[in-house]
Chains A and B, each alone.
Chain A
Amino acid sequence: MSTGSATEISIPPVYRAFLRDAFEAFLAERDEPDWLIDRRRRAFDCFEQSLTQPLEPEEWKRLDLRLFHTLRFTPPVRDRSGLVTQVDTMLATRTEFGASVSHTDGTAGPSGTRELPAGVVFCPLTEAVRVHEDIVREHLMTRAVLPDTDRFSAWHAAFWNGGVLLYVPRGVVLDRPLHSVLGSSAADAADFAHTLVVLDEGASATLLEETASLNAEGSALHVGAVELLVGRGAHLRYVQIQNWNERTWHFAHQAGRVEQDGFLQWTVGGLGARFAHIHQTVSLDGRGAGAEVNGVSFATGRRTLSYYTQQTHCAASTRSDLLYKSVLRDRSRVVWRGMIRVEPEAQQTDGYQRCDALLLSPESRMDAIPGLEIEADDVRCTHGATVGRVDDEQLFYCMTRGLTQHEAMHLIVSGFFQSVFDRIPVTEVREAFDDAVVQKLGLGD
């Protein structure tokens, strides 16, 4: 293993704007408590060190970052006030939210906050650092996403800006979904948004989050993180729809932890970006904890969407159920590497993972690699993966019933997604996905 110092020669251009001087300048602009600055410094040391280390081969060997390494992005700046504009998003106008927070290039915009029940916090994370310091200090990158995991987690932990905190105290149930928009506008800007959700015992909430590019052309970088902490008997529904423009590079560590009898229902949507890699972990920490993980991807053009998922069963009688569905057209590529890990103490575990893909063009490519690591002896774990194509006979059959070819294709693709749509409890999200399907099928026609 190489332990050499981070020299200019060995570091690809994309990281050069994020080295020591830039980091100090970034810190100097921020008015943050000492504990946070200390954490950022430690994370930066990790990041610097990581640049000389290779990435984990199992996670990255199917992906090509050569093009990424040549790009140049600028570190986040403290305030881009004036840049914040209304972002046109997939969900914003579909329903009434309990509250809404939006960011553009890491700067919080106007928030449409209604009256939330006492003790509930839903605000920009930078504001939470000031107003709800204890919550942030206790939970931010201490349990779910750890800064020293790899280059991208460390990079994020050092430079994070923007994103939201949702905290729901014990026993509080939020009926209306909450909404967060992460927007990107400046060309070559880097966004480091962080989503932190903490549900205390018996709490219940739904958070819908989406990403959007205000500028269809500009290239952008997102190095994000999502942390979902679900307390005892709590119930969280979290949806994130990634819909950046096709020149955005998206890297994210996303981790959920579920305590005893808690339940996490997590939906990941992948529609945009040039390249997106999500390192997603869900950990069942307490007896009776459960998680349902849904993935909906529609890849077009030359984009690559990659998911590296892990379901970790750390306690007995836990349940995890992952279903990823991807449709690919043009020259797009989707990679899914899934793992169910069962610790020795996690008896009577029920783990399931399945990844299905539907290829609409001969040039598209899907890699689906399921995996199991089981150290307990009384468990039920199953996995499966399928890759299929739209069958000409299906199209013909539909057409003999008066459907146009395009309409038939839409019906077949919607049918393919149906089993995962059935698992998404929020109607507006299903509708948004279906509209996206129509739009993506129409591309290039």
Chain B
Amino acid sequence: MSSTLRIENLHVAVDGKEILKGVDLTIRQGEVHALMGPNGSGKSTLAYALVGHPKYEVTEGRILLDGEDLTSLDPCERARRGLFLAFQYPVTIPGVRVADFLRHAVSNIRNPDRKEGEELIPMREFRKELRHWMQELGMDPSFATRYLNDGFSGGEKKRMEILQLAMLHPKFAILDETDSGLDSDAVRVVSEGLRKLAGPDMGVLIITHHERLLEMNPPQFVHVMLAGRIVETGDAALAHELHEKGYEPVRQRHPDIAAEETAEQAATAGAE
């Protein structure tokens, strides 16, 4: 049976300030959705809230995975149920080798009931799979023994996120600006990687400013976010329009929300 991720009337606050003001979105396995919108519209907030960042407080609404409300679960439990976020800015963990980190992650995701200290996925099987995906993603085998993201370039970090996506094979993947800050070669590698991975058993939410990632992974649905709400949903044509004309036409079509956006920006600027 195909899984569904349903976001209902989601309100999220950070440090007491409401960022998301009622987001509704449904993603089914096998679908590719794009989420676009100007800076500060709440795209990354939605990504963090979905995977359970403790600073992102859900004040109203629900996140349902096949009917189960995830909002009270911690990030580890959500990951084990099949949610994955490719980070815009992945952290560095000095001293922890990529292979060791991934072996723990893979063991937990594939065996969601696993307790700490219980058996890990067999080394042979794991190594074989890791080597396979590193090759597919054009990564040097030496990455496996490097410390996680320690000294990695921007492109290497993003590729590491895609490698994790490949190894963990979630039901739903959220990619937070995976294409930002990359040169065109790196964008191509990441886009091709995603194309190989996404299939009928993965739902994908691509957060992006740009169109590049979408060219190789054409979305069936494109959503536009403005001031904490999804204001429009369309198909790939909407992404083209945004790419060519920017967000002004969207603002003109939604003057009330655009005004709210302006007021918020003024308030933020005033506070600084």
Q: Using a CB–CB distance below 8 Å, which chain A residues touch chain B?
A: 391-394, 396-407, 410-412, 414-419, 438
Q: How far is the CB of B177 from chain A (nearest CB, A)?
A: 16
The answer to whether B80 has its CB under 8 Å from any CB of chain A is yes
Q: Do A418 and B108 contact each other (CB < 8 Å), given the known contacts A402-B168, A405-B74, A407-B116?
A: no
User: A400 and B84: CB pair below 8 A?
Assistant: yes
The answer to whether B141 has its CB under 8 Å from any CB of chain A is no
Specify the chain A residue showing the minimal Cβ separation from B167.
Answer: A401
Interface range on chain B: under 10, 10 to 19, 20 to 34, or 35 or more?
20 to 34
User: B94 and A415: CB pair below 8 A?
Assistant: yes
Chain A residues lying within 8 Å of B85, measured Cβ to Cβ, are 400
Q: Do A402 and B54 contact each other (CB < 8 Å), given the known contacts A410-B116, A412-B93, A415-B95?
A: no
Chain B residues lying within 8 Å of A401, measured Cβ to Cβ, are 79, 101, 104-105, 108-109, 164, 168
CA distance in complex: A398, B164 (Å) = 12
Q: Do A404 and B76 contact each other (CB < 8 Å), given the known contacts A414-B95, A416-B94, A419-B95?
A: yes
Q: Which of B85-105 contact A (CB under 8 A)?
A: 85, 87, 90-91, 93-96, 100-101, 104-105
Interface SS of chain B: mixed
CA distance in complex: A286, B109 (Å) = 56
Chain A residues lying within 8 Å of B80, measured Cβ to Cβ, are 402
User: A399 and B75: CB pair below 8 A?
Assistant: yes
CA distance in complex: A15, B164 (Å) = 61
CA distance in complex: A204, B112 (Å) = 49
User: B91 and A391: CB pair below 8 A?
Assistant: yes
Specify the chain B residue showing the minimal Cβ separation from A421.
Answer: B95
Q: How far is the CB of B38 from chain A (nearest CB, A)?
A: 25
CA distance in complex: A411, B104 (Å) = 9
- Top-8 shortest CB links A-B: A415-B95, A418-B95, A402-B108, A415-B96, A399-B75, A401-B105, A402-B79, A399-B76
User: A403 and B95: CB pair below 8 A?
Assistant: no
Q: Which of A393, A405, A411 contacts B101 (CB 8 A)?
A: A411
B36-56: CB near A (< 8 Å → 1, else 0) gives 000000000000000111100
User: B76 and A402: CB pair below 8 A?
Assistant: yes
Q: Which of B54, B74, B95, B109 contacts A417 (CB 8 A)?
A: B95
Chain A residues lying within 8 Å of B168, measured Cβ to Cβ, are 401-402
User: A415 and B54: CB pair below 8 A?
Assistant: no
Q: How far is the CB of B151 from chain A (nearest CB, A)?
A: 14
Chain A residues lying within 8 Å of B147, measured Cβ to Cβ, are 415, 418
Of B75, B85, B90, B116, the most chain A CB neighbours within 10 A belong to B75
Specify the chain A residue showing the minimal Cβ separation from B87.
Answer: A397
